[in-house]
Chain A
């Protein structure tokens, strides 16, 4: 029952840098036990520039167990109707603190606290439609 995520980065900014890659297995905090719960893969269309909850933690059975904080979230900006606009972004927040801008085609994978109130919020740049795909893995 394993979940793995592999990253690969290549860049020619620094001469001789080349590439970096790493694979992680998602586990429960502080153990080698595979993480067991997921929201499933989801899709959310944004059509206004209002900030909305992408993930409301109170709706998950994560609770307030502060000893199990190895939850992970993946979010990808897939544009709209097959059109990926690298000039348009979606802002990503954790409980109103901005993390960064996901431009068309961009993605993130990050650890999250996931306790009540630490919701993942997103805000499109404007009223043009944009779609996010996301999945969260957690220990309930």
Chain B
């Protein structure tokens, strides 16, 4: 079984008592306990300003699956950010240095994960661990 593990450690001193939390999950195929995600895509991209790009195209084969997506904004200017949009809904902004990790349900073909850079060309690292992808047949 392919094994992908995602762990997180959170620490905060905002409260009078320290707040910390940890989480770790082995990324399994949807609804299974013994079969791990077995496909992956990843990239390192420079995102110019002014255009909304499809970072990940949703496909019907991904509906109700257990895909996981990590995006990191590797820009260094703290004013730079990328806006994350799913199915035309603005989810939030990843500023320089931020990362995110989400399950991504390609609920329908419009459920693309889109990204737009602001204040300058942003540099991002991204990974998608998933299942169920079939390559498109060559057309020409």
Please give the residue numbers on chain A whose beta carbons come within 8 Å of chain B beta carbons, in ascending order: 1-14, 17, 20, 22, 24-27, 29-32, 35-38, 40-41, 69-72, 74, 76, 86-87, 89, 91-92, 94-95, 97-103, 105-114, 133, 135, 137
Contact = CB atoms under 8 A, between A and B. Distances in A.
Nearest to B85: A97
A35 B100 CA distance: 17
B60 to A, nearest CB: 15
Contact of B6 (A8, A91, A137): A8
Determine the main DSSP class of A at the interface with B: strand
Contact of B102 (A40, A70, A110, A114): A110
B137 interface: no
B52 to A, nearest CB: 16
Given A41-B19, A108-B102, 6 more contacts: A3-B12, A5-B99, A7-B70, A12-B4, A74-B21, A106-B103
Nearest to A111: B92
B9 interface: yes
Nearest to B118: A30
Contact of B94 (A3, A41, A95, A111): A111
Q: Which 10 A-B pairs have the closest CB atoms?
A: A111-B92, A100-B103, A97-B89, A3-B12, A11-B4, A107-B23, A100-B105, A105-B25, A110-B100, A30-B79
